[in-house]
Structure 1
Amino acid sequence: MATTALLRLESRGYFRSSLVLVALFAIVGVFLFAAFPGFADEAELIEEAFPPFLAGLLGFEALHTIEGFVSGYVYPLLWIVFAGIYVAYLSAGTVVRDVRERRMDLTLSYPISRESVVLQKVAALWVPLVVLNVGLIAVVFAGVTVLGESIDPVALAMVHLLSIPYLLVCAGIGIVLSVTLDRIETAQVSALGLVFVLWLVEGLSEMDPDYEWLGVVAPSRYYDPSAILVHGEYAYADAGILLIAFLALLAVAIVIFTRRDL
């Protein structure tokens, strides 16, 4: 087996499902952008009507602007939740599926280390990362253009660039569960649920200063589309924290898998 054969094989398997999710983004985006004119006219009333928990969870700011609307509605739903869950779900099914279906024995019969197996399976996630980023950028630009609005392309690019560490952490959560658990469905559902619960924890922690510390463990705390699009603030330090968290999760996954009895 060539050094990168597993990477190429895994990469090909993600392309179609990633396109399906982009299509879902486009469908949901149609409904979201169609609602913008109404939101822009009643932005103040809408912001007051939403509970503080939900407003904080979605990051509502300046809903009367296209930047505030996109960062408060489009990205929390389509990107932080859907894309994060999707990447975690994919990652959680990688190793455990091969082990469960006895393909891992064949893979390891070639001159390839267990460390390389984990690294190549995670590296193969470049396909959904690229496809989803390009797809959502296209959806957002199309929606903004149809509405007759404009959005800063540099800020939009930074929203996606700084989201990569967040998505990598979601992948890291999935790969740890994939090398730990014995059932495919259990690993994937656990990864899906954990990413979603962490997002909820971050929103709940903002309601009460006494519990704000709980949000420290939530990767969504370190990625704020509103800060980028509305305020032009690029939190490189937060992105660095997420990258360190991803590398730590990856290291844990490698240690567990290399010591695991298959």
Structure 2
Amino acid sequence: MTAILRIESRKRVRGSVVLVGVFVLLSALYFAMFPSLSEEMEALEEAFPAFFFDLFGIEALHTIEGFIAAEIYSFFWVILVGIYFAYAGAGLIAADVADRTMDLTLSNPVSRESVILQKVAALWVPLVALNVGVATVVYVGALVIGESFDPVALAMVHLLSIPYLLVCAGIGLVLSVVADRPKTARSTAITLVFVCWLVDAVSGLDPDVEWIGAVTPSRYFDETAILVREEYAFADAGILLVAFLVLLGVALVLFTRRDI
């Protein structure tokens, strides 16, 4: 009953390890830079226009929390890890359909709903690996340079990012079900996640159009507010979880009705 989950989970191990390794290198670079740059950050904040910091959700760059939130979480986590999960979700079904593996899978006594649910459940591997691995690296890295993070705030930025990453995967999953080719599903999913982030960032600069960003997943995950101000938006995380469940439900309905 869980064969698909086990197989898919094993497939995710290598990519997850590579991603954690990339974050280890990035974290080492930024932590090495911070001691020499921290004294100049206040002058840098005054030199750049305010809209630049609003666009990327940057504040308190002179603190370790603000610096890491800006350099690691605001870009690499929200955009690149979000894109990774969208890409992974977009290949869950379309890749197997394209190489005819899905025909073999469905010839066994397994429902289509179970196929999707087990494939989605296998995303626990990168979710756990990235959130535990990166959180540990960031916490230890800060201690090495004589700084420290509030462990609760650091844990919350990772915990509250999970619904956001699941929504990114859900977007890819829906496209994986409806697209004929995995390349199309993946490229469209990547584009959508990036465009959603861009719409959220740009719309937030003008109060008259800020409402447009309400339809973007990144609007409901504010890494800077969590790390710098220790504000935990549980309601926003709940909205993202509901959005993920809706996307999952749409994918289930479409896949059960699809002719394969």
- The TM-score bracket by the shorter chain reads over 0.9
Question: C-alpha separation between the residues in 2 aligned to 1:124 and 1:82?
Answer: 20
Q: In the alignment, residue 61 of structure 1 is paired with which amino acid? A: E
Listed as ranges, the matches of 1:121-200 within 5 Å are 121-200=119-198
Q: In the alignment, residue 234 of structure 1 is paired with which amino acid? A: Y
- Work out which of the residue numbers 5, 9, 26 in structure 2 matches 1:7: 5
Once the 2 structures are TM-superposed, how far is the Cα of residue 67 of structure 1 from its aligned partner? Answer: 1.2
Q: In the alignment, residue 225 of structure 1 is paired with which amino acid? A: E
Provide the residue aligned with 2:78 in structure 1: 80
- Work out which of the residue numbers 231, 234, 249 in structure 2 matches 1:233: 231
Any idea what the Cα deviations from partners look like across 1:47-86, whole Å, max 9, x if unmatched?
A: 2334444412332111111111122221112211121111
Question: C-alpha separation between the residues in 2 aligned to 1:187 and 1:181?
Answer: 6
Question: C-alpha separation between the residues in 2 aligned to 1:210 and 1:38?
Answer: 40
Kept after mapping to 1: 8 A contact 2:81/2:165: yes
Listed as ranges, the matches of 1:89-128 within 5 Å are 89-128=87-126
Once the 2 structures are TM-superposed, how far is the Cα of residue 33 of structure 1 from its aligned partner? Answer: 2.0
Once the 2 structures are TM-superposed, how far is the Cα of residue 168 of structure 1 from its aligned partner? Answer: 0.5
Kept after mapping to 2: 8 A contact 1:199/1:220: yes
Change (3 A) 1:48 1:190: farther
Question: C-alpha separation between the residues in 2 aligned to 1:253 and 1:39?
Answer: 47
For the pair 1:219 / 2:205, whether they are aligned, the reply is: no
Question: C-alpha separation between the residues in 2 aligned to 1:56 and 1:71?
Answer: 13
- Work out which of the residue numbers 205, 208, 226 in structure 2 matches 1:207: 205
Helix, strand or coil at the partner of 1:111: coil
Question: C-alpha separation between the residues in 2 aligned to 1:126 and 1:31?
Answer: 28
For structure 1, the 5+ residue unaligned runs are none
Q: In the alignment, residue 48 of structure 1 is paired with which amino acid? A: E
Q: Return 52-61 or 213-222, whichever deviates more.
A: 52-61
Change (3 A) 1:190 1:26: same
Aligned length: 260
Change (3 A) 1:199 1:244: same
Question: C-alpha separation between the residues in 2 aligned to 1:220 and 1:36?
Answer: 26
Question: C-alpha separation between the residues in 2 aligned to 1:53 and 1:249?
Answer: 33
Q: In the alignment, residue 93 of structure 1 is paired with which amino acid? A: G
Question: C-alpha separation between the residues in 1 aligned to 2:189 and 2:47?
Answer: 33
Which TM-score applies when normalising by structure 1? Answer: 0.95
Kept after mapping to 2: 8 A contact 1:219/1:242: yes
Once the 2 structures are TM-superposed, how far is the Cα of residue 32 of structure 1 from its aligned partner? Answer: 2.0
Kept after mapping to 2: 8 A contact 1:99/1:105: yes
Provide the residue aligned with 1:44 in structure 2: 42
Which TM-score applies when normalising by structure 2? Answer: 0.96
Q: In the alignment, residue 235 of structure 2 is paired with which amino acid? A: A
For structure 2, the 5+ residue unaligned runs are none
Kept after mapping to 2: 8 A contact 1:58/1:73: no
Helix, strand or coil at the partner of 1:61: coil
Q: In the alignment, residue 97 of structure 1 is paired with which amino acid? A: A
Change (3 A) 1:127 1:205: same
Q: In the alignment, residue 58 of structure 2 is paired with which amino acid? A: F
Kept after mapping to 2: 8 A contact 1:166/1:242: yes
Kept after mapping to 1: 8 A contact 2:74/2:224: no
Provide the residue aligned with 1:59 in structure 2: 57
Q: In the alignment, residue 86 of structure 1 is paired with which amino acid? A: Y
Same amino acid, percent of matched pairs: 62
Kept after mapping to 2: 8 A contact 1:52/1:207: no
